[in-house]
Amino acid sequence: MINLILFGPPGSGKGTQAVKLAEHFNLLHISTGDLFRNEMKNETPLGLEAKSYISKGELVPDEVTIGMLSNKVDENIGKVDGFIFDGFPRTEPQAEALDKLLTLKNTEITKVLALDVPEEEIVGRILERAKTSGRADDADETIIRNRFNIYLNETAQVADHYKKVDKFVALDGVGTIESIFEALKAEIEK
Ligand code: AP5
Ligand code: MG
């Protein structure tokens, strides 16, 4: 199996690249943000709980997020050549839970690919997307900057978890979507 994590701040292009990589390498793309948005759309209890955090740009509690992610992996293991995780793990407990989950399935993370994009570029991209996304967390610059700060304060250190085991690779996330896709593919094929 190939199990990838796409890592990086909000708006860095994780979702855009994950869709392309999933198709190219025949992996299942799992975005915890997309899963939460689907639950919110369907107004499930999980969606209603998640909404109170997401609308402010804050992280949904670990136990909720880990449970949802574990279910998704359980449902699909054996059906695909691997997974591409987008927006998960975002905290050290999430990284530890993912390690355990994959070990139980006799597999592991292959590589973590991080997209480096500066804050001002991110704010510009997300405000542009806000015109069409309908995402409450895209529309307000204060919330976008809060998401970026939460990334710096709560998520960025997850990189160390994977640096310790030599699985972390950072790439420039500024450039054309195609050029970044080529760089990611080259890194995966190494
Ligand atoms: P999530 O959905 O994961 O959002 P995010 O990390 O904030 O990132 P985005 O989806 O906004 O950006 P992206 O990196 O996918 O970039 P994209 O490809 O869209 O999470 C949302 C919320 O859910 C969180 O805040 C939290 O509340 C909750 N949540 C989710 N996971 C959680 C977890 N594990 N634990 C706790 N809570 C969790 O690109 C962005 C834009 O830029 C697009 O418009 C795109 O077209 C454009 N673009 C892409 N690439 C380029 C490029 N190269 N050049 C120019 N523009 C580009
Ligand atoms: Mg995304």
Alpha-carbon Rg of the chain, whole angstroms?
A: 16
Active site residue 129: yes
The verdict on whether 90 is a catalytic residue reads yes
Q: How confident is the model at residue 39 (pLDDT cuts 50, 70, 90)?
A: very high
Q: How far is the CA of 101 from the centre of ligand 2 (A)?
A: 23
Backbone torsions φ then ψ of 115, nearest 5 degrees: -105, 115
User: What domains can be seen in the chain, in order of their start residue?
Assistant: 2-189 (3.40.50.300)
The pLDDT tens digits of the residues spanning 120-148 come to 999 999 999 999 999 999 999 999 999 99
CA distances from 100 to 70, 82, 107, 108, 135 (A): 10, 16, 10, 9, 32
pTM across the whole model: 0.97
For the stretch 4-29, pLDDT in tens is 999 999 999 999 999 999 999 999 99
